Amino acid sequence: MPEQSNEREVKSKRQRWRKAAIVLAGVAAVGIASIFARYRGLIFPVRIGSGSMAEQLLGPHYRVVCGDCRFVFRCGLDVEARLGVTTCPNCGYRRNELADSQLVQGEQVLIDRWAYWNQTPLRGNLVAFVDPTNDKKLAVKRIVGFPNERLRISEGELWINGELQRKDLQAAKEVAVLVHDDSFRHVASDDLPMRWRDPADAGGWNVIESGFEYAPERNGTASGTGWLAYHHWRCYSSPADRAEEVPIADNYGYNQGLSRELNQVTDVWLSLRSSLQADTSLTLLIHDGRESFRFVLSMAARKVELRRGGKVVEEASLPNISVGIPVELECGILDRQLFLQVRGAEVIWQRYEPHPETERIPRPDPIQIGVTSSERVTVTNLQVFRDIYYLERVGRASEETTLGADAYFVIGDNVPLSVDSRYWPKVGLSQKQLLGKVLKRK
């Protein structure tokens, strides 16, 4: 009998331990779930669920390789592409079919929950917060307005307290849109012209695999300068001729199924590599729809001139460039600023105001390259970018918004698709609403 009693007692103790273990496991599970919910994105990555931040952060999309130029572009699922085909934003080829095999999940990001505990956010930060229109979802946008500021959007630009908000080049590159990459040229249609070509058809240029080579012995111009001009095509779904030349617009290749009126963009810049010779003079011309500006790089004089019309408005020393060795150059117009960078270092950065009496007429060939040299010069890796074009809320064009003492104005990089401070009843987010800074996973 005592042995049976001991056996029952042992079984009872085991049952009590099992129950206790189950209860503890349940408590632990609840605790872990609570921690996960609170710190989602801190340890565990969060997946982007929409295209409102494309191309900086991508939601679910199709990864498409153009059937003509082989350029890789993304087509979001937010708006269904018509007839299951897409148009290449690089070359305008219109018969790129969509297939399930091209589907890609949204990118994953981390949220730095401590970023704003002892410091305030910075303009341009990507921030996460609970979506004001759906408290079960997290949202990601970019901060563009600070507390107590007066904010207005007009003609694609952002105005803060009555002043144009001017970005530096690093901030601009985060929201920039690649317009054309000459490394991906159309090959399927022989009857189409080159996107970069001599406007006078005077010869002097050889087409090479990654760009162009200036051959002075072939130049038939009296000035001895060979010119290349970029010609822009619409590169979106349209019944018009594929190679019809139009001004650069605020088109997003990501938004293939979105139908809206496009806006012309004149804040554009050029990135390239060039091998300059000892006597080379390289001219980079940018047109803002009203007038042209020229950056003239002289290897012989080792200087750079910025010319507005026929007048030199700024001079700078040309950084040490090795003869015949390709060097990276970037130049263009950004928020009424003219800039030139050599090997990533700023050489010229000048603000300017457009002539108010001159009508703005954007042109389809806003960028040209001129070369004067006794030896051959190459220009390769030609890329054209455009700046972000901000859109006002329909019915609130040029309306100024005054932010509260603890209110941040946020906008998505994919401006036409994003629902953000422009549309919320309460436009601003308080700092307490900001869950943290968004970090891209490497």
DSSP string, 85-126: EE--TTT----EE--GGGEEPPPEEEEETTTTTSS---TT-E
pTM for the model stands at 0.89
Type of residue numbered 225: T
Q: Which residue has the tokens 């979001």?
A: 76
Q: Regarding beta strands 96-97 and 85-86, do their DSSP bridges make them parallel or antiparallel, or are they unpaired?
A: antiparallel
What per-residue confidence (pLDDT) applies to 395?
57
Domains annotated for the chain, with CATH where assigned, are 196-230+266-386 (2.60.120.560)
Q: Which residue has the tokens 């080159």?
A: 194
Both structure tokens of 10: 């042992």
**Cα distance between residue 438 and residue 142, in whole Å:** 10
Residue range 73-118, pLDDT digits in tens: 999 999 888 778 999 999 999 999 999 999 999 999 999 999 998 8
Residue range 348-404, pLDDT digits in tens: 999 999 988 889 999 999 999 999 999 999 999 999 999 999 999 865 666 899 999
Q: Residue 314 above 70 pLDDT?
A: yes
Residue range 168-221, pLDDT digits in tens: 999 999 999 999 999 999 998 778 999 999 988 878 899 999 999 999 988 878
Report the candidate in 276, 295, 234 with the shortest Cα–Cα distance to residue 373.
276
Type of residue numbered 345: A
**Cα distance between residue 136 and residue 297, in whole Å:** 56
What per-residue confidence (pLDDT) applies to 438?
95
Q: Residue 15 above 50 pLDDT?
A: no
Least confident among 56-65, 229-238, 305-314, 433-442:
433-442
Confidence of residue 10 (pLDDT cuts 50, 70, 90): very low
**Cα distance between residue 42 and residue 7, in whole Å:** 50
> For residue 8, which phi and psi values (nearest 5 degrees)?
-60, -40
**Cα distance between residue 341 and residue 172, in whole Å:** 14
* Close Cβ partners of 232 (under 8 Å, ≥ 6 residues apart): 179, 180, 195, 245, 246, 247, 248, 364, 365, 366, 384
